[in-house]
Structure 1
Amino acid sequence: MNSKHQASNSKWDFNFIKSSKYFYIFSLAITLAGIISLSVFGLNYGVDFRSGSNVDISVSKVVSQAEVEKVVNDAKLDQEANITAGSDRVNIRFPEVLTDAQVESLQTTFNSQIDKNASYEINTVDAEMAKELELNALLAVIVASVGIVIYVTIRFEWRFAVSAVVALLHDAFLVISVFSILRLEVNLTFIVAILTIIGFSINDTIVIFDRIRENLRFAKKQTHDDLADLVNKSISQTMTRSLGTVFTVFIAAFALLVLGSESIRMFSLAMVIGLLFGAYSSIFIASPLWLALRNKKKPSAAKPSKATN
């Protein structure tokens, strides 16, 4: 039976390869927007990646932002603080490192004006530590990508490895672009989210690649058209599993985003965005890219007619 007929019997009857150019254009458009945003605005680094002090305060009642602003002013802290309030947890981020005297003044004033039983968690990062954390975060992403290249090359071939890494970098960069465009805070939990996204994305990509490799064993011809049909068939055969896995994790990440605490809000948001991009790139970017590397478009070979018995 012709591979085109086999593909048409799949539950997901869609020509992924034929439509790949539109998805390439979509990804390039977001990438370009991200490059412009990063060039103009950069990233909104949290205290983890720049010097300063971050004060988390747990209180027994709901506190407004105006109340916290008054505390900061009365404590004679002249720094321009970034305040997040409106619940029973308050976050105050200072662009410079607080001295012991300033911390004591803040706590005394907060206890006297708002809640004497408040508990404090203070994280301070100096300039040297911030640079080290930034370097280590970049190194973690690079090491993960290199490890994936080696693994996929050994298990499959270099074309699969290149396609997988391009898809991973695509996912990571699009999440970074969204955070840059929306001016969302980038901290260590964001890096954890990026590494987690890479893990889920490569898992989906490997599932599709494994099916492509399996179908290649039974492919009698490997012209561009035949391989395109084979890739379409492989994606269709694994689509339900891929979407099911992503949807399950997406529900958990979305629940954390809506119901979780403020401290993991950016992690949850990065996960939600990254899971969507990861599923998208595994299907619409990685597999078509492998086909482009494997067999550049050529006129299909004429198929000899078989005499029927």
Structure 2
Amino acid sequence: MTNPESMSGWTRLTTGTANVDIIGRRKTWYIGFGVLIAICLLSLVFRGFNLGIDFTGGSQIQMPATGANGAISTQQVDRVYESVIGSAPEVTQSVGSGDAASIVLQSEPLTSEQLVPLREALFTQLQPLGADGTPSAASISDSQVSGTWGGEVTTQALIALAVFIVLVTLFLAFYFERAMAAAALVALINDIVVTAGVYSIIGLEVTPATVIGLLTILGFSLYDTVVVFDKVRENSRGLLKLTRRTYAEAANLALNQTLMRSMNTSLIAILPVLGLLVIGVGLLGVGTLADLALVQLVGMISGVVSSLLLATPVLVDIKLRDKRVRDQAARVEARRARAAGRGGTDSGPDTGTDSDVDGGPATDTLAAVSSSAPAAPRPGARPTGKTGRRRG
């Protein structure tokens, strides 16, 4: 069997034999997550969200992206809007591709006295083509969007989020233990706050698709955490009766054993989302598909990082509040200190039990074996055991 110490770092990582001290550096991770959470919360409080028209309400104008003089750009539409209304629109974006390409303009609520001259100016200056390939004023449409629909979607999403958190917490508490449920909940809240904070800091528009996408990342956020916790449970089974390793070391071993799996799973999951984002932005224009893919991308990256660097370290700190776990860790340290004092080598986790700590049972067993050994035979004595003579 190949000695793990002789393997390269990449080989050890891919075979689950790496020795990255993730748990030992948990204070560093806490500081990093704390700073990130603080920045996100400050942005949410003082900057808020860039809510889309579905939440705030307003007017929407849509027209073909092809005119009599060629392609119509969003900058041209903005200039026409500013010349008529006197201010810039909230959002102007290109949607679709090819013959189906169109320009969508969203602004604050406009009155009919504003909409009529705006539509006339757009048609006069840009000459958008209708379905028959000739300039048509009917190709420009307008509609009023109410903010109540976005509010209803948000309300339903918050209810779904609360139900999800309650059910997941109960499942983890029964399937694993309460400490693991609490640690997973901390990581889940972190992912939600970070994803929302990124949208607030960058100023990305929040649409109903964003809210729906936020709900879809919750399951992925918990997936890696559950995988790691299952390995932690396996490594720590019967640990209180052993002095092989501490609970923190067992948890760190679980992280190293599942590290490559988490990275591979996350990469495979992120690649399709990147594909959706490229298609949504590059081919179809910034729309519902792009909004959904963007929030999933941010949430997935946050989820895999928190499952490795936050959930398990929090679990270790919760478990160390248990006196039995602290006492077991003290016994491990005592055994290693004695081994070092005797000049022995303690390369790490050992297979000894609690009886190894005191040294008494091991010494008594050796004495019993020595005393029960047969005495040397007297010179000339006849053997009393079986002989090697064969019967005829």
What TM-score do you get using the length of structure 1 for normalisation?
0.83
Q: 1:176 to 1:109 in 2, by over 3 A?
A: same
Q: 1:221 to 1:132 in 2, by over 3 A?
A: same
Instruction: Tell me, yes or no, if the aligned pair for 1:62 and 1:86 is still in contact at 8 Å.
Output: no
Is 1:279 the counterpart of 2:304 in the alignment? yes
1:176 is matched with which residue?
196
Instruction: Tell me, yes or no, if the aligned pair for 1:55 and 1:123 is still in contact at 8 Å.
Output: yes
Aligned equivalent of 1:82, options 90, 93, 100: 90
How far the C-alpha of 1:161 sits from its partner, in A, is 1.2
* Rg comparison, structure with higher value: 2
**Segment drifting more, 209-218 vs 111-120:** 111-120
* Matched AA of 1:197: I
How far the C-alpha of 1:120 sits from its partner, in A, is 7.2
Q: 1:82 to 1:213 in 2, by over 3 A?
A: same
Instruction: Tell me, yes or no, if the aligned pair for 1:159 and 1:293 is still in contact at 8 Å.
Output: yes
**Segment drifting more, 277-286 vs 87-96:** 87-96
How far the C-alpha of 1:131 sits from its partner, in A, is 3.2
* Matched AA of 2:163: V
Matched residues in 1 for 2:32 and 2:244: separation? 24
2:338 is matched with which residue?
none
Matched residues in 1 for 2:34 and 2:253: separation? 26
2:44 is matched with which residue?
38
**Segment drifting more, 49-58 vs 180-189:** 49-58
* Matched AA of 1:286: A
Pairing of 1:135-174 with structure 2 (within 5 A)? 135-174=155-194
Q: In structure 1, the residue corresponding to 2:239 is in which secondary structure?
A: coil
Q: In structure 1, the residue corresponding to 2:330 is in which secondary structure?
A: coil
Q: In structure 1, the residue corresponding to 2:91 is in which secondary structure?
A: strand
Matched residues in 2 for 1:107 and 1:57: separation? 10
Number of equivalences:
302
Matched residues in 2 for 1:36 and 1:272: separation? 22
2:28 is matched with which residue?
22
Instruction: Tell me, yes or no, if the aligned pair for 1:153 and 1:160 is still in contact at 8 Å.
Output: yes
Instruction: Tell me, yes or no, if the aligned pair for 2:192 and 2:299 is still in contact at 8 Å.
Output: yes
Matched residues in 2 for 1:58 and 1:145: separation? 44
Query: Which blocks of at least 5 consecutive residues in structure 1 are unaligned?
Result: none
1:242 is matched with which residue?
262
* Matched AA of 1:48: D
Higher relative contact order (CA 8 A, sep 6+): 1
Pairing of 1:105-116 with structure 2 (within 5 A)? 110=122, 113-116=126-129
Matched residues in 1 for 2:51 and 2:172: separation? 33
Show CA shifts across 1:11-49 (max 9, x none). Answer: 332111111111111111011111211121111111222
Q: 1:165 to 1:71 in 2, by over 3 A?
A: same
Is 1:49 the counterpart of 2:71 in the alignment? no
Aligned equivalent of 1:251, options 232, 250, 271: 271
Instruction: Tell me, yes or no, if the aligned pair for 2:184 and 2:311 is still in contact at 8 Å.
Output: yes
* Matched AA of 1:211: K
Query: Which blocks of at least 5 consecutive residues in structure 2 are unaligned?
Result: 6-11, 96-100, 132-138, 336-356, 367-392
Matched residues in 1 for 2:198 and 2:301: separation? 13
* Matched AA of 2:186: V
Q: 1:29 to 1:62 in 2, by over 3 A?
A: farther
Q: 1:253 to 1:162 in 2, by over 3 A?
A: same
1:233 is matched with which residue?
253
Matched residues in 2 for 1:128 and 1:85: separation? 23
Q: 1:206 to 1:123 in 2, by over 3 A?
A: farther
Compute the RMSD of aligned alpha carbons: 3.2
